[in-house]
Structure 1
Amino acid sequence: MTVLGRDIQPTAAIRGNLQFTQSGLVTATYFIDPAGYGLRTPSDKYDVKLAHHGLITNLPSGSLLLGIQARLETLDVLRKMVEGVDLDRSEDYADEVVASYERIQAIMPQTRIHLLSFPVGSIGTGLSTLTGLWRSTQAVDVSAISKEDLDSYDEKATSILSKIGSDFAPTPVPAALFQWLWEHYLNRGALGDPAAPTRVGVLEDATAAVFGSAALDEGAQADSRYRVRPSFIPVIKVVQPEAPDRPSYQSMLTPRSFPYAGMTFPGGSEFLDIINGMAGVSIDWGMRVSMKPAEEVLRNNELGLRRLGEQMEQRDTEVSFAQNTLMSKAQMLSEYNHHFEVSGGESEVSFTTVIAVGGPTREATLDAVNLLKRRYKRFQLEMTAPVGAQVDLWSMLIPGSPARRAFEDFAHIVPSDMWSGFVPFTSSEIGDDSGPVIGVNLLSGQFQPIHFGIMEAALHDLSASFAVTGELGSGKSFFLKLMAVLVHDMGGQFLAIDRSQVGEWAHFASAIDHAVVIDLTAPTVSLDPLRLFDSRVAGERALDSLLPMLDLSPTASAGAVVSNMLTEKGRAEHGIHSMLDLVHATHRLRDDPGSGPEYADLAARLGAVADRLPVLFDPMLKPLQLNAAATVVRSHGLALPTAEELTTPHLYNRLPLTKRLGTALYELVGVAAREAFLTDNGRFGLLVGDEAHHFTQTQVGAAVTSDFSRDGRKHLAAIGLASHDPATDFQGAAHNLIPNRFVFRQRDETLARNSLEWLGIDVDEAPYLVQILRESTSPPTGAGRTVPEERRGEMFMRDALNRIGRGKVLGPARPDRAAAINSTPTAAGRSVVVERQG
């Protein structure tokens, strides 16, 4: 059977998002923002279910819900990458965006567009003239529809949307969306399938829709010239006159039955998620719904029970299975009736679901259909592709399509509470709306680019700070360097603390022009807080470093003395302009007749550290100036305490002097970055620390972390931290205030559980995710136990909106940047050419 597409297209006229059909029905169609779902907690998922319950109980009968799969337009992705970036001043980033074009083309990312269409009235017979015009391909005169009528339809739509609420942020579609939808249906999965429309740009420039013609050949009869018998293949061959050699083969699936015992929520009822992640085809879903209020359902149930009772009385003397069947039906109907009696706000939903599979060949489409059937079979859902009803079911996905027999034949009836567990309007998207592409989404199955707008977050009143965890070799350092180079290329600056013995960050900095490398054990610059910071805060900054370094209390004996000396008044009185001046002043006071033992104690403590720390006490070194685009501070020569030593009081009290000195210098670097970056200088600043516990477990470090997390969005700054164990290191500000979190491979079970809980996942509810993180996230394979190139960078992510998903970090698209990040220097034979301060 071959049907002409124009005989199925119901549209007679369009005015904005209002559609006027040949039958006189008027519908309103909206874009829907799906609710974030992914790997969120069960309580969050129940909130999504409640939002869907509010949706379904307030929709009018005949409403159509759609989820349309389409490829992303590469240029749209690139436009999002450059939002808010001055490319004239960021040539390096412009090169990165250009290099991203081919990579995005190769990935072929997809997306799913969610739409809602519902009736808002009718215009009776007044549309017959317009219908005739449309059938003769003449322009439709929408002026024949009065302004009063248009206003009444808008008012009706507004009233319905008000009852639904704002959970899904409905946005009126432009008129051209109807044309785009028709073109997609005709080319579903084939070469001519159009890219996804954007809500801005070309679609909004159009004011009407023009529908192309096509032939819908059910059973693909034309493929066999000499076929005698009719085809029983559940497939439609869609052929367009202008492209007869590029047909689309499509098959319509619909549920035959759902599990008898019901579908558990969450985790078992979201049956539309199963269609994601299938390559080579395009898969859409549509759901047509009708509602009955509880009062009508109760009346019908009472009538049904009475009829069953009469049948049972008529067969009470009969010995057969029929009696048992009737009793079973009566029990089920009684339970169904009880559900409506005890559940307030319930309604009955009759819904027909169509899953439309389209591909470039019949084999590709039917293979996908069979794969989907097998997938659904595991969830006890039986799917069917009914022969003879393919075209009718195909038409159901068209907004405004009149009711057909197939819609009723394959309908199912459930209470609205159970229907809301299907949560059709959900998404597994993660990341930001714009910004650099840092990877692709693995959870959605669509491979959408993950944008991380680290420099744009402040404009949306969000923190750009991020934290990373994972085992050695899992990709933490790679990701930190990726973010640093992106910040640099977009016109910002970064300071990274390099703890590696081989100087991997210093090696990385060699690829950046005018990078500055500082070695704290062989300093060329000074971190003297009295020279580094403004006079108003210099004394406090010096005290923050000195007191823990000298193991002093700020209010007792020597601690009180140095606290007084470092006030503005004390510094002026004793002529203290540097840390070395402090040492000299202490010696003078110690030698004064009548001085107390506290001065001798302070002088002894300062004398023990002054010669060991030229970076603090050598006045010939110039103070550090954080004005370079890239600064790397090498701290590999410092002895630093472990996380356990910092968090255990008796171990901290016994810290050797070398570790106290190392901690003080490490913190000073963070404080210097805070003073430089948390100022309104118009330039974004990123502080990168690979030893998170030194920024989160000490008083000074915690303050630095908190300030970057709280105030970074106000001053265009962020902090990026990495750790092996988030349960130990990411506490306080790092846990509460850093929104963007990334978890790479963790093969240790305890660390894997800690990492997922840090993301916000209830591992007791989802223990399989622990196994995925340990065994299926960038897994080392083969004899060398190396990670294959295509599996590197896999991770879990939580974004600024608390959405949790899985992704894969891609790294820079520019070959030179990728080489700089990927290369690992060796302890010998390495040559790094950088500009040094001093």
Structure 2
Amino acid sequence: MDPILDVSGNLLFCVDGATWAVWRILPRESARSTGRQLQELYARTLTFMKSLRGEVMIASLCEQVQPHAIIRRCLDRIDLDANPHWAETVYHAWDQLEDLDVLGRSYWVATPLAGHGWRDAVHGLLRATGAALAESLGIPARPATVAAIAAARERARSAEQEFGAAFPLRPATEAELLWWLCRAPVRGVNEPQLENVAALHNSGIRLRPGHGRAQLATLRSTVLDEGGRTDHLPENRGGTSKLKQLAGPLRTLNRRFLKCLTPGDGGLVESYQAFLVLAEMPRAFTFPGHEILSRLAGIGFGVDYALRITARSNEDAKVANRRRTRDLMSQDEEHGGDRVGVPADVRSAQEEIQHKNARLGASTTEIDLDVGVVACVWGATAAECDARATTVRQAFLGGEYTWERPLGGQKQLYQALLPGHRTPMVVRECSQNLLASDCAMLLPVSATEFGDPTGALFGMVLDGGAITPFLLDPTYGPSHDSSGGIAVLGELGSGKSVVLKNVAAVVRLMLDGRVIVVDRTRSREWEPFAHALPGDCQIVDIVDPALDNERTTPAELRHSCDPLRVFHGKTSTGITETFFASWLDLESNSAERDALGRGLDEISGRPDASSTTLIDTLAQHGRKDPAARALAERLARLRRDPITRPIFDPDLQPVNLLGADMVVFCTNEIPLPSALEMSTERMVARIPPRKLFGRALHLLIAAIAKEICFTTDRWGEFICDEAYNVTGTPEGQQIALEFVRDGRKHGADMAFGSHAPQDLGDEILRGLIAVRFLGRHRDDDLARHSLAWLGTDPDDHHDTVTKDLSPLNPAGGEPERQARAGEFLVRDHSGRIGRVKVITQPYRTLPQAVLTTPTINRGHSRKTVR
């Protein structure tokens, strides 16, 4: 007989007269975190454990996430009529998800509600008696009365308050409870979807409109076949003795799994499930190191688990422990005549109980818990189910944890993972007696959500027990009163440019925003990428391509970056003065700086304003002002250098700030000062003018990007690969800081790519960057500095970054290396850290255009270097 008679809200009314209440747990910190965040998770778990009273069930359940559920998150608040390119991209992303087994994880707490006085006890007894009588007569059980529901809700509110505020709790909905009950017999096979709606997919159950009562008849039609006796045994073939034929049915006695048969639209749905109970634990616990339940959630396939807990108060625990102490100490006398003395295990148990008594006496908030841990794995066949159960057992042997699969107790363990069932004897026999502080070290509850709630399917999370989606929305932080900014660090070839190109693709395809890019690669890798995206693009060469005799693609200088022609009004004057002062290394209080300001004031606002006009104006001022004459002569001399043509050539069309959806500035031939040259004032004074021009021009590009992104109502993204080219100057760093600090007010953001955190600017700028990607770094010092910037303990993930992120020489050879390309440790907008494999947005030819691996000629053959 099914123990559940009725469901109302988060309440379950059972045949034994008990009423259970169920809540969803919504943890904040993740067990993947380290250091301070992991300690905070332990502190919250400890507070929660100390709040438990009586019988409590804590459950962690997997859910099959269907592709359409992820796609809905990708399409949230997107007008597909106005943005058909995103519709096309998401359509192809759906195809990618069809081949993946995507799992989610949810956490629950359930407890039977204690009654208040004899009236509640009588009502429960009457309900149990009526249910038993109705079952014997074949009459449907009556639903709970309105009065019973009201009384139970009041007790549930009191129980929720007792749990405290360690973890955010939310009362489970009827649809969620039905999902839990309906999913159990079909784990891994045609599961219903966990959705807070009135009707559940594939469950066969509907809620009464307007009443909120569940029809539970479908649940009772499931057949639980322990040992799979309904499986077809091997046919008898010639030569097989009758003894072997008779032994066939006996083989089922050692088949330690449960076969669930549930009627479905296409016939019976068969689900093979194996249940394990934690029979042994180490005597001493340390943290971190014993968070086995979080490891259980990351074992590589879906695992459900539940803790069946009976809590005793501090005083009750002291009384019980005194009895245990007397029993253990009495064994000294029993072994007094034995020459070998008291056995070691008895001595160890005596020391353990004494230590537990001391801890109970030292803290009045410490409580005693009898904890039974049950785990469930499943598979499409009995063999797959057995293999996964064996994997779970083997994975924890090194830590002195023993998982057992009781023979003949699989059905009881199945019930132990459901609310409304009392803790079965098979679980009580294996329960471990723990203090709350020790039980909390198991970390039964931790956040599994990672990435943004909506946005583009940017990658797949690899360390949550199964593959789960990682969504990225560049606007999420700025639109939720948080800082923005995206940064990607890693060594050469780790995939930084691929991540930044995918960020640009998301901005263009999903947001229809504008993208400005600084491309310093000789191969002009961003040019084919820009052409692969929809909309107009401007490819702005800073150095005349004709100067490069080795260029294999035809190109010519088409655009002018003259700030006096690109900008207008006061913006033009300010940016031009900053540009020339940086280029010419003019001090703020110098005579030449004053002369420059006077010249700009005179030509500002004129239709013929340009840098050439500025030189003529300074030459005229030079008749009376030596500083103006010297400045005009310097600029006239620099104008003759072909590298400065984008500033002084009047025949080039100025960059159109609002005329393109994507602007790529190709600056590969522009020299830049090295860190050594910028280290001292004496070295700075010797920097060649061309390098000073390169530094100033990158500052000018940053100013152009700010003007484009901050002055329109479209989202703007400034992408600076090799970030030190912009952040290497105080002026460029200030612009980058304005993007990160104030960009959310203007609908703009900035993405950085580099090799070390120091390249991202000062401490403030580095700290304000919200989303952080860290790729492979085989150098020890660079890996440690990057992990510290990521927000984790460098010792915890050091080997991951140096050896296990997109490894260059994996055991599987070249196929595995290519399959694992694009792995990063990622910190999301909420500060959570996870391991992600970045995937390219599936838009037309974009996946091919994103790749940056060079092709090298070796004689007549071509070999791709990856």
Alignment of 1:294-693 (within 5 A): 294-312=314-332, 316=336, 319=339, 321-322=341-342, 327-490=347-510, 491-512=512-533, 513-522=535-544, 523-566=557-600, 577-592=609-624, 595=625, 597-612=626-641, 613-627=644-658, 628-646=660-678, 649-679=681-711, 681-693=712-724
Map Cα deviations across residues 229-270 of structure 1 (whole Å, 9 max, x no partner).
36022111212245765422211101111113x232113333
Name the count of aligned residue pairs. 805
* Equivalent residue number for residue 835 of structure 1: none
Q: How far 1:792 sits from its partner (Å)?
A: 1.4
Q: How far 1:493 sits from its partner (Å)?
A: 1.5
* Equivalent residue number for residue 769 of structure 2: 738
- The answer to whether 1:74 aligns with 2:105 is no
Farther off after superposition, 231-240 or 417-426 = 231-240
Letter of the structure 2 residue corresponding to residue 666 of structure 1: H
Checking the alignment, whether the CA contact within 8 Å between 1:84 and 1:456 is kept in structure 2 is no
Distance in 2 between residues matched to 1:294 and 1:664, nearest whole Å: 70
Corresponding residue SS for 1:478: helix
Alignment of 1:267-306 (within 5 A): 267-279=289-301, 282-306=302-326
Distance in 2 between residues matched to 1:168 and 1:763, nearest whole Å: 28
Map Cα deviations across residues 480-515 of structure 1 (whole Å, 9 max, x no partner).
111112211121121111111121111222223422
* Equivalent residue number for residue 800 of structure 2: 772
**Shift in alpha-carbon separation, 1:400–1:564, aligned structure 2, 3 A:** farther
> 1:218 is matched with which residue: 206, 226, 248?
226
Corresponding residue SS for 1:107: coil
Distance in 2 between residues matched to 1:546 and 1:449, nearest whole Å: 48
Letter of the structure 1 residue corresponding to residue 832 of structure 2: R
**Shift in alpha-carbon separation, 1:826–1:247, aligned structure 2, 3 A:** closer
Distance in 2 between residues matched to 1:784 and 1:425, nearest whole Å: 37
Report percent identity of matched pairs: 25
> 1:788 is matched with which residue: 797, 800, 817?
817
**Shift in alpha-carbon separation, 1:573–1:750, aligned structure 2, 3 A:** closer
Distance in 1 between residues matched to 2:766 and 2:290, nearest whole Å: 31
**Shift in alpha-carbon separation, 1:80–1:617, aligned structure 2, 3 A:** same
Farther off after superposition, 535-544 or 149-158 = 149-158
Corresponding residue SS for 2:794: coil
Farther off after superposition, 575-584 or 461-470 = 575-584
Q: How far 1:826 sits from its partner (Å)?
A: 7.1
**Shift in alpha-carbon separation, 1:325–1:283, aligned structure 2, 3 A:** closer
**Shift in alpha-carbon separation, 1:504–1:573, aligned structure 2, 3 A:** closer
**Shift in alpha-carbon separation, 1:326–1:283, aligned structure 2, 3 A:** closer
Alignment of 1:710-721 (within 5 A): 710-721=741-752
Corresponding residue SS for 1:66: strand
Gaps of 5+ in 2: 116-122, 234-245, 545-556, 858-866
Distance in 2 between residues matched to 1:138 and 1:637, nearest whole Å: 86
Distance in 2 between residues matched to 1:800 and 1:675, nearest whole Å: 26
Q: How far 1:86 sits from its partner (Å)?
A: 1.5
Q: How far 1:745 sits from its partner (Å)?
A: 1.9
Map Cα deviations across residues 35-78 of structure 1 (whole Å, 9 max, x no partner).
33254232211110111112112133221111111210111100
Farther off after superposition, 524-533 or 579-588 = 524-533
Letter of the structure 2 residue corresponding to residue 144 of structure 1: T
Gaps of 5+ in 1: 1-6, 829-838
> 2:729 is matched with which residue: 698, 705, 711?
698
Checking the alignment, whether the CA contact within 8 Å between 1:553 and 1:560 is kept in structure 2 is no
Q: How far 1:743 sits from its partner (Å)?
A: 1.4
Distance in 1 between residues matched to 2:833 and 2:805, nearest whole Å: 15
Alignment of 1:152-171 (within 5 A): 152-171=151-170
- The answer to whether 1:11 aligns with 2:4 is yes
Distance in 2 between residues matched to 1:326 and 1:411, nearest whole Å: 19
> 1:240 is matched with which residue: 258, 262, 265?
262
Corresponding residue SS for 1:221: coil
Corresponding residue SS for 1:503: coil
Checking the alignment, whether the CA contact within 8 Å between 2:513 and 2:661 is kept in structure 1 is yes
Distance in 2 between residues matched to 1:788 and 1:328, nearest whole Å: 49
Checking the alignment, whether the CA contact within 8 Å between 1:579 and 1:616 is kept in structure 2 is yes
- The answer to whether 1:27 aligns with 2:48 is no
Q: How far 1:329 sits from its partner (Å)?
A: 3.6
Distance in 1 between residues matched to 2:433 and 2:185, nearest whole Å: 31
Distance in 1 between residues matched to 2:298 and 2:744, nearest whole Å: 36
Letter of the structure 1 residue corresponding to residue 633 of structure 2: A
Distance in 1 between residues matched to 2:477 and 2:334, nearest whole Å: 73
* Equivalent residue number for residue 862 of structure 2: none
Q: How far 1:106 sits from its partner (Å)?
A: 0.4
Checking the alignment, whether the CA contact within 8 Å between 1:38 and 1:429 is kept in structure 2 is no
* Equivalent residue number for residue 808 of structure 1: 837
Map Cα deviations across residues 783-822 of structure 1 (whole Å, 9 max, x no partner).
9979733111111111111111111011122342212223
Map Cα deviations across residues 149-192 of structure 1 (whole Å, 9 max, x no partner).
43443333333333434453222222122322222211123x33
Corresponding residue SS for 1:454: coil
Q: How far 1:127 sits from its partner (Å)?
A: 2.0
**Shift in alpha-carbon separation, 1:572–1:493, aligned structure 2, 3 A:** closer
Corresponding residue SS for 2:487: strand
Q: How far 1:93 sits from its partner (Å)?
A: 0.9
Letter of the structure 1 residue corresponding to residue 432 of structure 2: H
Corresponding residue SS for 1:538: helix
Distance in 1 between residues matched to 2:185 and 2:21, nearest whole Å: 22
Q: How far 1:112 sits from its partner (Å)?
A: 1.2
- The answer to whether 1:105 aligns with 2:98 is yes
TM-score by length of 2: 0.87
Checking the alignment, whether the CA contact within 8 Å between 1:752 and 1:770 is kept in structure 2 is yes
> 1:252 is matched with which residue: 263, 266, 275?
275
Q: How far 1:392 sits from its partner (Å)?
A: 1.1
Checking the alignment, whether the CA contact within 8 Å between 2:31 and 2:443 is kept in structure 1 is no
Letter of the structure 2 residue corresponding to residue 798 of structure 1: R
Distance in 2 between residues matched to 1:323 and 1:429, nearest whole Å: 49
Map Cα deviations across residues 365-398 of structure 1 (whole Å, 9 max, x no partner).
1111111111111222111011122211110111
**Shift in alpha-carbon separation, 1:467–1:572, aligned structure 2, 3 A:** closer
Checking the alignment, whether the CA contact within 8 Å between 1:468 and 1:722 is kept in structure 2 is yes
Letter of the structure 2 residue corresponding to residue 197 of structure 1: L
Distance in 2 between residues matched to 1:770 and 1:350, nearest whole Å: 38
Q: How far 1:571 sits from its partner (Å)?
A: 5.3
TM-score by length of 1: 0.90
Distance in 1 between residues matched to 2:696 and 2:394, nearest whole Å: 61
Checking the alignment, whether the CA contact within 8 Å between 1:253 and 1:355 is kept in structure 2 is yes
